[in-house]
Every structure is written in C-alpha cells, then in structure tokens.
Chain A
Amino acid sequence: MSWQDLGKEFQKLRREFRASLPAKLTRMRSLWGRIDCEEPDADALEILKREVHTMAGSAGSFGLPQVSKAAAAAEAALDGLKAGSRPGAKRSAKFRVLLDKLEKA
C-alpha cells in the first residue's frame, strides 16, 4: 500500500465514519429518552457517556473538529448526573440542544 493509497483509504474511512453518525445520534437520542423519563435507566447513562466520549475522540481524528467539539460539550453536560436519577429540566433542555447541535455539525 502506498501513501497515496493510504490517503484514499483515510478518505474512505472518513466517509464511513460520517455516514455512521446519524445512526449514532439516533441511538444517543434513544438512550437519552431512557434517562430523561419517570424511571431513569442507570445503564443507559453509562452507555451514553461512553458513546459521546468515543465520538468526541474519534471525530477529531477523522478531521471533523466541529463534531468532536459538540460531542465533548454533550459529554460535559452529562457530568454530575447520577446514574438512576432523572435529569432536571434545565439539563434536559441543554442536552437536547447539544444533540441538535451535534446533528448539524
């Protein structure tokens, strides 16, 4: 494999990564729905934290800094939220706005 091939492969992976984002976002919204409800799911919070964290790290490596930044902000918005407890209205609204931002990034 030449460096030129590597460049092409990188672009291919980048497209794949970008294409995977809508499904990942849908999953994040679904996970948030399981947290922001009457009986919050503690496991869902852990998974969501991991997924936004992973996205924050990976997106930048694929040359998508805006996605990385938005995911990092979403991760920060989950800080301090206790597993099994329902987020307050303010946090809930903030997180939904951040997910929207992530979608547009």
Chain B
Amino acid sequence: MDEKHVYALTPKGSRELKSAATSLTALELKLLVLVDGQSTVGRIVKVFAPQPKAELIDALHKLKQAGFLADAGGDDGAGDGSIEATGFFTRPIFPESKEAGAAAASQSDETLQLLRKNGYVARIAKRAAEERKLAKGEKVHVLVIEDDEHLAKLLRMFLVMHEFVPRMAANRDGITAALRLAPKPDVALLDVTLPDIDGFEVLLRIKQHPVLKTMPVIVMTAKATREAVLKGLACGADGYITKPFDVDVISHAVKSVLGLK
C-alpha cells in the first residue's frame, strides 16, 4: 500500500462512527476517526508512532475489506457527507507546527479514550501545556453560559465556594454583555442548548475571535452522543462534560484547562 494513498469513509464507516455500540477495536476506531478523505496513509500512520507501520496498514486494509473505508474519489459510495456535516472531518487534523500536531494528536487520544472507556459519558478536559500559578490575591474569572436558572445558581454558588469569580450569561445578549466586561474571562463553561443561539455556534465564534480564541471553553451538555462529543471537540472545545454532572467535575475541569493545581 502506497503511503500517498488516501482513504475516505464509506456510509458504513460513517454509521459506525455514530453507532451506539461499536465492534471495532480501539486501534481500528481511531483509524476510522482519522480518515477524512484528504490525509494520506503516511500522515495517518505518523500519528500512531511508534506503533509498527505494518500493523497500522494491515488494520486499514481490514477496515477497507470490511467495507468501512474506500479509496478516496472512488465510485463505491465513499463519503456520504454525513460525518462532514459535523465539521469533524473537514477540520485540519495535521496542523503546521509540531506542537499543534502533538496537541491535536493528544486531543484525538482523549477522544478515543473517551469513546473506548466511557462510551457516551464524557468527563474530559485538556490539560494546559504549562502549569499556572496564581499571584497572591489573583482570582480566576469564569464565564458561565447556562440558561437553566437553577443549574446556573448552583454553578455560581459552587464557583464562589472554590474562590472563582463567576460571570453569568443565559442567552445571546447576555453572552455579548459578559464578554465585553473587563477583565476577559479566564475560562468559559458553555451549555450548548441555549434559547436563542446554538451553543456550538458560540463556541466557534469564540475560537475564531482574535482576542477570545485563547480562552479555554468547557462544553456542558446533556448531549452525550458520540457525534455530539466529536462535534464539540472539533469546534475547539477544551473540555466536554455531559450532564448530569457532579459539580466537583467542573472545578477539576476548570483547573485542568488553566493549568492550575
């Protein structure tokens, strides 16, 4: 098999990625996630280093034989577009820099760990690259975007108890107002089901904003499907927590993405 060869998902492969239960091994599943109709076999194999190349190529071959993959651009029904609609496979998975590449691979690892171990219950948060120590008296400002008033109150109370400074928003206007306030929040907790705007859109807007893009965003949602988790991570979420959650999980996630101990 040529390392320049490119595979695409078949409809069967797309369905497998969205299915409630997969029979694939962790390695096969990870390969399936990385196949995007654009990346060459060589590039995909690099992500798995130091895993033996022959083993990976064999796994790809088996996935093709089983009908999960097809040659990109072939006429055997590859790429029905359903996965692309989530944005996951249109997102570059091999960024330019080494560091970014490692981060993407690490994020992918976290996703796969999640899929393998927890299935549909996500409690993941990226670890910040560097440890951060707060100066004396310095507080962490947390933007909480949550439209359920009771849950918002609970989160606010809990954050105050942990000596964070919460800033609340429940809708589009509230988000805009909260983001205009100084200082810029250190981190955002985002409920993706909001009354007047899609939370994933909010996430994308934050991640495309020149100033806000470095602010970690932790998605909180009752959407615990594999597709939703992948969508959240593909949109740039730094953490994904499915509801219902224990509030301690929130504190852990906030500290993790900020590099706090």
CB-defined contacts of A16 to chain B, threshold 8 Å = 150
Residues of the B chain whose Cβ atoms lie less than 8 Å from the Cβ of A58: 148, 150-151, 243-244
Contacts of B247 in A (CB 8 A): 61
Chain A residues touching B, majority SS: helix
Ordered by A's residue number, 14 sampled pairs between the chains whose C-beta atoms are within 8 Å are: A6-B157, A10-B154, A13-B150, A13-B153, A16-B150, A17-B150, A50-B193, A54-B222, A61-B154, A61-B243, A61-B246, A62-B154, A65-B244, A68-B244
Assuming A6-B157, A60-B244, what are 8 further A-B pairs, CB within 8 angstroms?
A9-B157, A13-B150, A13-B154, A53-B223, A57-B148, A58-B150, A59-B244, A61-B243
Give A13 to B151 CA distance when docked, in angstroms.
Answer: 9
Q: Which residues of A contact B191 (CB under 8 A)?
A: 57
Q: Name the distance in Å between A5's Cβ and chain B's nearest Cβ.
A: 9
Using a CB–CB distance below 8 Å, which chain B residues touch chain A? 147-148, 150-151, 153-154, 157-158, 160-161, 191, 193, 195, 220-223, 243-247
A72–B222 contact, CB under 8 A?
yes
Partner of A20, one of B150, B157, B221: B150
Min Cβ gap A25→B in Å is 15
Closest chain-B Cβ to A53's Cβ sits at a distance in Å of 5
Alpha-carbon separation in the docked complex, A75 to B228 (Å): 15
A9, A10, A53: the one contacting B193 at CB < 8 Å is: A53
The residue that B222 contacts in the complex, of A10, A56, A62, with Cβ under 8 A, is A56
Chain A 24-61 interface residues, beta-carbon cutoff 8 Å to B = 50, 53-54, 56-61
Is B151 a contact of A6 with CB atoms below 8 Å?
no
* Smallest CB gap from B223: residue in A: A53
How many A-B contacts at CB < 8 Å in the complex?
Answer: 62
Question: CB-CB < 8 A to B246: which residues of A?
Answer: 61
Is A1 engaged at the interface, CB distance under 8 Å to the other chain?
yes
Cβ–Cβ contact B161 & A1, under 8 A: yes
Q: Name the B residues within 8 Å of A17 (CB-CB).
A: 150
Distance to closest chain A CB from B111 (angstroms): 21
CB distance from A74 to the nearest CB of B (A): 12
Q: Is the CB of B222 within 8 A of A3?
A: no
Residue of A nearest to B222 (CB): A57
Query: Taking CB as reference atom, which chain B residue is nearest A3?
Result: B161
Q: Which 7 residue pairs across A and B have the least CB separation, nearest first?
A: A60-B244, A57-B243, A57-B222, A61-B244, A17-B150, A58-B151, A56-B222
Closest partner residue, chain B, to A16 (CB atom): B150
Residue of A nearest to B158 (CB): A6
